[in-house]
Each structure stands twice: as structure tokens, then as C-alpha cells.
Amino acid sequence: MEHSLMLPNQEPYGALYIHVPFCKQRCLYCDFATQSIDYASPELRAYTDDMILAIRRAGRNELLGGVRTVYMGGGTPTFLGQKYLTELFYTLSLTMHLTEDVECSIEANPDSLDGRMVRDLWALGVNRLSIGVQSFNDAELQALGRIHTAKQARDALAAAKERFENVSVDLMCGIPGQNLESFRRSLEEAISLGAMHISVYPLTIEEGTPFANMVAAGEMPDVDSDFQADCMELAAEVLQAAGMQRYEVASYARPGFECRHNIAYWTGVPYLGLGKGAISMAQNSEARFRFDSGGEVQEELTAVEALAEDLMLGMRMTVGIGPELIDRARQTFASFDEVCDELIERGLARWEGDRLVPTTQGWLCGNELFATLLDLAP
């Protein structure tokens, strides 16, 4: 969990990510850095100790002074349990200014989130809960290999709402056995239970997962991207009618409840990742690096490539890219205006005042839009 990359004139980190790579049981679609482990395993103790050291070291090296958002994800962070979570957030509050205006999120799984856990997290300074519900339909949950039921999801959400206003729910579309009606019910239920933020992800079949093997063996149909497109359109319709705004391809929120941590990822803010498999991004005016928590560089981008990446990431969001980024792009890429015209002609983007923003079609066929922007950098 050593952090070893230091650039000259490095921009300060604005976001901190803490990874907890443990789950009670791996879901069938999951290819995240996580492992299923027993509650009593000594590994949990050891991992927590290492993380405490990593946080303190980052503090000592003055890496946390500019951090405005903290996100603990996994895996299943709540699987760590009361004691270890307390230690981690206590360390964090001693090491950095974990004030009320710092967004501090934790991911939770319905089966390990109860009233007591909610109260403790609240007391430790966590101010945003993101619950991995995926669906409010038991058959669909089972198909995904989730370890919780729809009832547990409802209970967890109710418990969360007792303390937290800022509660987010993840929902999935394209689940085997799902139809538009059942997906609509999941959306409506998330709203009625008080979610202020909803992420809608289409199921993807990742290499090496049980789902990939099942598809290869013909035991399960491959993803139906037409159905997923229908779901994404339905989500936009239902959630916007309920007063939520779509601020990113897959993210909806009531005004003021957008996830600031995720927005940091999409706006070129440097982020520090701690824990097994966590990725950090550091940059200065010359270059952008991504490296893992062992300090190994995964990707090195020139400032020009980083700019193209910012354009691509910007177009994930409803606000698109603003005048400042557009000016830089015009100065850097001779063909920028031409490319904008092409995107507009293909129906992928449009001008909204002085901002270039994605269209619905641009979101659905995001890879076309994103690839075109990435191609700006030679």
C-alpha cells in the first residue's frame, strides 16, 4: 500500500479512494478486485492495519491536504464490520480535515447494513451511503448471484434513511430474466424509498467471470444491447419524471446530490487510491500518470493526451465540456472544430450556448463519441 510516485510541481490530490477488497461471496458478474473471505479471517485485521499505516503515511507526506471527497469502495466495505471501519474512519479523521463539507461516501451491501452500522457510520463522519441494491426483484437478484433479498434491500434503505439524507442506490439493467416492467418497478421502488441518487448500469459480461463461462457454454444468453438501450431510455424517463436529473451517462440525482467524488474522476482532478488494486492519478503540467498502490505505473499520458481524455470524460456528463476546455482544445488540436461538426452531424453532440454537450444518442453510442474525441491526440 506504498505510494511512491512524486512528480515535480504535482497538482494536489482532490479525491481519496480507499479500497476494501473483500466480500462474503463473489457475484456471478463480478470482475472487481475482491475476494470472498471468512468474517473471522486474520486477513481483515492485517489489511486494516496496513490501511491505517497507508493513510497516516499519506497524511505525513502531505498528500491529503487538498482532498475534498473520500470514497470507500470495494468489494464490500461494510463487510469489514464495525470495529475495523471505526478504526479506519477514526484514523482518517485524525489525519485529514474530515469536515462536513468533505463528501465522504461508503459503499454498502444490503446484507451487511443494519441500523446500528448506519448510526456508527454517521457518527464517524460518513455523509453519503451508496447501497448496492441492483434490483428489487428476488429472481433477478438470484440470477446475479447476489447474497441479499429484495426485502433486505428495502430494510437497508429504510435503515440508511433514518440517519442519512444522501443515499444512493445502484440498479442494474439487462439482468437475465429482467423485463421492462420489472426494471420500472425497481426504479420506482428506489425513488419511493428515498434514494437521492441512482446509478443505472447495464450488465456487462466480463472475461473470466462465471457469467462469461455460462455464456460461452450456451447456458445463458449474451447481453441484449437493444434491451439495455430500452432500459436506459426508460430510466431516463422514469427518474426525470420523479424529479431527478441525469448528470452523467449512468448517474441520476436530485439537485445537489450529485456524487462529487465521481465528478472528480470525470474532470481531471488528481485522485489518490489506497488499498489492493486501487489506482491513483497524479499529474503536473507535463504529464498524467495512473499507477497502482504498489507504485507501478499503468499509464502515462502527455499533456496533449490528457486533454483529449478530459474531453472524452467531460462528454460523459450532461454539462459536457465548457469554454475553458474548448479553448485549450482549439489551441492544441487543429482539427477540433471539424471534429465537433462531425460529432454534431452524426447526432452524437450538440452546442448548448458555449458548451459542447452529448445528445441522448451520443450517450447510448458513447463509444463512438468517446473514441472520436480520444483520436484527437495523435
By the rule CB under 8 A, 28 interacts with other proteins: no
Applying CB under 8 A, among 66, 125, 210, 277 the residue interacting with other proteins is 277
By the rule CB under 8 A, 236 interacts with other proteins: no
Please tell me whether residue 11 adopts helix, strand or coil conformation: coil
**Binding residues among 200-219 for other proteins as defined by CB under 8 A:** 200-202, 204
By the rule CB under 8 A, 180 interacts with other proteins: no
Q: Which of 234, 209, 231 is nearest to 220 (CA)?
A: 209
Q: Which of 86, 139, 81 is nearest to 112 (CA)?
A: 81
Please list, in sequence order, all residues whose beta carbon lies within 8 angstroms of the beta carbon of residue 135, skipping any fewer than 6 positions away.
141, 144, 146, 150, 171, 172, 175, 178, 182, 186
Cβ proximity to other proteins, 117 vs 259, nearer residue: 259
Distance CA 334, CA 175 (A): 44
**Per-residue cell: 12:** 494536489
Shortest reach from residue 300's CB to other proteins, in Å: 10
By the rule CB under 8 A, 271 interacts with other proteins: yes
For the chain, the straight-line distance linking the first and the last C-alpha, in angstroms and rounded, comes to 34
Shortest reach from residue 249's CB to other proteins, in Å: 6
Cβ proximity to other proteins, 159 vs 281, nearer residue: 281
Shortest reach from residue 265's CB to other proteins, in Å: 5
Q: How many residues bind other proteins (CB under 8 A)?
A: 43
Shortest reach from residue 351's CB to other proteins, in Å: 20
Please tell me whether residue 132 adopts helix, strand or coil conformation: strand
Q: CB atoms < 10 A from the CB of 305, how many?
A: 17
Give yes or no for a contact between 328 and 334, defined as CB atoms under 8 angstroms apart: no
By the rule CB under 8 A, 107 interacts with other proteins: no
Q: Which residues pair with 356 in a beta bridge?
A: 321, 351
Cβ proximity to other proteins, 214 vs 365, nearer residue: 365
By the rule CB under 8 A, 12 interacts with other proteins: no
Write the DSSP symbol of residue 12: P
Applying CB under 8 A, among 70, 117, 175, 249 the residue interacting with other proteins is 249
b/e per residue 329-350 (b: at least 16 CB within 10 A): beeebeebeebbeebeeeebbb
Cβ proximity to other proteins, 82 vs 335, nearer residue: 335
Of 44-52, 158-166, 186-194, 265-273, the segment contacting other proteins by CB under 8 A is 265-273
Q: Which residues bind other proteins (CB under 8 A)?
A: 17, 33, 200-202, 204, 225-226, 228-230, 232, 249-250, 262, 265-266, 271, 273, 277-281, 290, 298-299, 309, 313, 316, 346-347, 361, 363-368, 370-371, 374-375
